[in-house]
Amino acid sequence: EAFGISLIEAMACGLAVIATAAGGIPDILQDRQNGLMINAGAADPLAAALGKLLDDPALAATLGRAARRTVLEKYSEAMVTGQYLALFRELVPSR
């Protein structure tokens, strides 16, 4: 996915996420702040990131809370609706 709806869904559930820097994901996920960013194309970075979260449940919980906060602040229904309304008001002249 270019934007990462499944990523946002997981983050909204408060899950610690692991992703690569593909498409729009870097706009959503900040490495070690609200998830873990890994290099694409190799299994070792994924295994290491999974191990890190499994070995450190407190880190997983912290990243999960930050992930949920990110989604609520940037991608909530109210936020996105407001952004669309502002765009429509800008594009459509008032009468």
In tens, the pLDDT along 27-83 reads 999 999 999 999 999 999 999 999 999 999 999 999 999 999 999 999 989 999 999
Query: Which one-letter amino acid corresponds to residue 91?
Result: L
CA–CA distance, 86 with 47 (Å, rounded to integer): 43
Q: Are 40 and 22 in contact (CB under 8 A)?
A: yes
Task: List the domain boundaries for the chain.
Answer: 5-91
Query: In degrees to the nearest 10, what's the CA dihedral of 45, 49, 52, 54?
Result: -130
CATH number of 5-91: 3.40.50.2000
